[in-house]
């Protein structure tokens, strides 16, 4: 019984760790982030992102929502421009199930191969006046192909990344 409970906890840990988004950020230490109150999307940069238009819309809608929750206002004359960049990596996992010791018909088992997609989303905040990068957030994690869960997963990426803004806001 204890082994079954241990395997159950281990499985839960693996599922939770696969679902999480790992985030980090970097910023210009000479900027006063309290001066930034308005934003707009940096169309020139966003148009270059090589993902589907639907996924791009999901990301931008989520960024819009989180930025407004943080007190930013969308503007034609913004303080900051928001840009995005994405990368994906396919991961192939091979699991050999070997039973017993030595040689013979009892040795060896089926080999399982599975694939998953790991994605990285960068969100850049650019000073609108001089077009200099002032803050960059990065989120990495498993991407879902389940259409019903895409909006939720994209929002998880965006909200976790932007939780790092303004700098120092994630310190306890």
**Structure confidence at residue 146 (pLDDT):** 87
Question: What are the pLDDT digits (tens) for 151-164?
Answer: 999 999 999 999 99
Q: Which residues touch 32 (CB under 8 Å, ≥6 apart)?
A: none
| Any domain includes 13 | no
**DSSP for residue 39:** E
Range of the domain at 69: 21-162
Q: What is the CATH number of the domain that holds 109?
A: 3.30.160.670
User: pLDDT tens digits, residue range 25-64?
Assistant: 999 999 999 999 999 999 999 999 999 999 999 999 999 9
Question: pLDDT per residue over 73-89, tens digit each?
Answer: 999 999 999 999 999 87
For the chain, the domain total comes to 1
Question: Residue 31: CB partners within 8 Å, gap ≥ 6?
Answer: 127, 134, 135
Say if residue 17's pLDDT is above 60.
no
The total of other beta-carbon atoms located within 10 Å of residue 34's CB is: 7
Please check whether residue 80 lies inside any domain of the structure. Answer: yes
What's the pTM? 0.76
């Amino acid at each position: 019984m204890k082994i079954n409970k241990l395997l159950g906890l281990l499985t839960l840990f693996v599922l939770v760790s696969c679902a999480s988004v790992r985030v980090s950020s970097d910023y210009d230490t000479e900027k006063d982030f309290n001066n930034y109150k308005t934003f707009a999307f940096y169309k020139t940069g966003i148009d270059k992102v090589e993902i589907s238009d639907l996924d791009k819309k999901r990301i931008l809608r989520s960024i819009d929502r989180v930025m407004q929750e943080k007190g930013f206002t969308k503007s034609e004359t913004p303080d900051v421009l928001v840009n995005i960049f994405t990368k994906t990596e396919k991961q192939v996992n091979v699991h050999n199930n070997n039973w017993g010791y030595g040689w013979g018909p009892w040795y060896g088992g089926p080999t399982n191969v599975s694939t998953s997609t790991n994605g990285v989303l960068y969100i850049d905040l650019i000073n609108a006046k001089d077009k200099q990068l002032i803050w960059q957030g990065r989120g990495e994690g498993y991407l879902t192909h389940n259409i019903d869960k895409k909006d939720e997963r994209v929002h998880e990426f965006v909200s976790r990344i932007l939780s790092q803004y303004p700098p120092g806001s994630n310190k306890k």
